[in-house]
Amino acid sequence: SEEKSLNFIEEIVEDDLSTGKHNGRVHTRFPPEPNGYLHIGHAKSICLNFGLAQRYNGKTNLRFDDTNPVTEDTEYVESIKDDVRWLGFQWANELYASDYFDILYAFALNLIKQGLAYVDDSTPEEIAAQKGTPTEPGTANQYRSRSMEENVHLFEEMKAGKYPDGAKVLRAKVDMASPNMHMRDPIMYRIKHAHHHRTGDKWCIYPMYDFAHGQSDAIEEITHSLCTLEFIPHRALYEWFIEKLDIFPSRQYEFARLNMTYTVMSKRKLLQLVNENHVSGWDDPRMPTISGLRRRGYTPASVRDFCDRIGIAKRENLIDVSLLEFCIREDLNKTAWRRMGVLDPVKLVITNYPEGQTETLFGENNPEVEGGEGGREIPFSRELYIEREDFMEVPPKKFFRLGVGLMVRLKNAYIIKCDDFVKDAEGNITEIHCTYLPESKSGHDTSGINVKGTIHWVSIPHAKTAEVRLYDRLFQSENPAAEEGDFKDDLNPNSLQVITAYVEQDLAGAQLGKGYQFIRKGYFTLDKDSTADKLVFNRTVTLKDAWAK
């Protein structure tokens, strides 16, 4: 296969390797904040970070960026680890920014002692006002000129719990006139008397992202620290801290985040959907979370393929969700086992098939693979369910399904001819009567008759009932986050349809995590709500793009 051209980050890495920077070492990290479940955007970052390490014989750390005790939780830590593993990646080290709280505190004292940080008693409003605007410089306040000794003393008192939340902050003394607002004496530490999921009540001061992230990268000697474009204005500060602390020179590089149509991609918004019960949980199959995609029936290979296809760029764009659907169809077409399930049943009686007789037919599992990956037994009898839409009372020309006088093949079974049908008082068709050609059995057909259409079916006495969940897009507009007002007003009220279907007997043994193609109806997977008494399937995706323009 043809070698893909390098993306701009791979070019940077290859350049660094060729100049001997970091002695040929490539060490990346994936740094989620454990304040929610991972989404498909995170998958892009995971594939990029772990993919680089794989390609260049490097390593990737999984680092939890857990510096905000209020929003973080161990439930999220566990889900993140599950999701990264499920995607097929293994981290070199499992690390936590909170493990660095002592070192970060020492770094802060170091900067104070260099005269590069000070304790500020201003309120958040005062600090914001003094920051100025992008076109006007900020102004220094009286706390900026505190002595080094006083700053050390106050910072120690902050740590010791002497002050309430918000009473003081520690700020870097950089440049109140910098054109980069992030350089106007950014806050390094704030007081928060809160319980942390790992450090408990040991700390009541917590470092800000900007004072934790780069320093964590440096501590771990990360060579290439990859983040999304909104961190471009933070880069100068990232480098300032590294320079002033004289620590390992990690470098930050920015790439465009993934945005996808018909969904939102921010943990804060996804959390709202969960908390307000618009979905059943973080792993609701309509969610763009990795756990939601997994439950929906997406495979790790399909998600990695998607991340590969969207590539890495420096400009934001909106990726069409149908590309993700394309990737799962591609994968499931090759791997899903074929089965039969009737979603909207109507009864069909084969009038010349003996009452009470049953025979066992054979259907291969996967026609895409040499040998078919074996097969399964399919019971056949006089009474079947077929799909209501496969019969028409007045069929148009070229309707290669059923209508009086028309013939079709029943998949893996016989050719049948429709003779008659029965209607109830309301005019609904309740029964279709057919005759079969005994010599037309699939694989042993000596009938000499060729029919154009093949339809799926299940034998009524052998059928299993199943709850089937059919999903549509969670939002109605392409870019719900860009809509005015509350993004939840754009939720699609018909994003979930629950129906009762009849499926072939073999599906009683369906495996969690495996994909099945219900012939002609789409790809399905068993849901975790399924029990021995009640089968539940999710439709992963239809066979064709229903929205194709």
Closer to Mg ion by Cβ: residue 269 or 520: 269
Q: In whole angstroms, how far apart are CA 314 and each of 171, 286, 317, 323? A: 31, 29, 10, 20
Which residues neighbour 189 within 8 Å (Cβ) at sequence distance 6 or greater?
108, 155, 158, 169, 170, 205, 206, 207, 208, 211
| 40 annotated binding-site participant | yes
Shortest approach of ligand ATP to residue 165 CB, angstroms?
23
Radius of gyration (Cα) for the chain, nearest Å? 31
Q: In whole angstroms, how far apart are CA 97 and each of 56, 192, 206, 498? A: 26, 17, 11, 43
Closer to ligand ATP by Cβ: residue 85 or 452: 85
Pull the structure tokens for residue 214: 């780069």
**Interface residues for Mg ion in 5-44 (CB under 5 A)?**
33
Number of residues that bind ligand ATP (CB under 6 A): 15
Closer to ligand ATP by Cβ: residue 39 or 376: 39
| 258 annotated binding-site participant | yes
Q: Which of 81, 198, 244, 257 binds ligand ATP (CB under 6 A)?
A: 257
Catalytic residue among 59, 63, 267, 539: 267
Task: Rule CB under 6 A: say whether 41 interacts with ligand ATP.
Answer: yes
Decide if 159 is catalytic.
no
Axis crossing angle, helix 300-310 with helix 40-55, rounded to the nearest 10: 80
Decide if 33 is catalytic.
yes
Task: Rule CB under 6 A: say whether 304 interacts with ligand ATP.
Answer: no
Closer to ligand ATP by Cβ: residue 226 or 336: 226
Comparing CA positions, the residue from 348, 344, 365, 366 lying closest to residue 468 is 344
Q: Which of 59, 234, 251, 267 binds ligand ATP (CB under 6 A)?
A: 267
Distance CA 213, CA 209 (A): 6
Amino acid sitting at position 541: V
Shortest approach of Mg ion to residue 233 CB, angstroms?
15
| 263 annotated binding-site participant | no
Pull the structure tokens for residue 327: 């990737």
CA 540 vs. chain centroid, Å, equals: 13
Structural contact between residues 293 and 306, judged by C-beta atoms closer than 8 angstroms: no
Shortest approach of Mg ion to residue 23 CB, angstroms?
30
Task: Rule CB under 6 A: say whether 363 interacts with ligand ATP.
Answer: no
Decide if 267 is catalytic.
yes
Shortest approach of Mg ion to residue 430 CB, angstroms?
55
Phi-psi region of 443 (alpha: psi -120 to 50; beta: other; left: phi over 0): left
Q: Which of 228, 261, 272, 530 binds ligand ATP (CB under 6 A)?
A: 228
Task: For strands 383-387 and 457-459, give the pairing.
Answer: antiparallel
Residues near Mg ion, by CB under 5 A: 33
Residue ranges binding ligand ATP (CB under 6 A) = 31-33, 41-42, 44-45, 65, 227-228, 257-258, 265-267
Q: Would you name the residues annotated as active-site residues?
A: 33, 257, 267
Known binding positions for L-glutamine? 65, 209
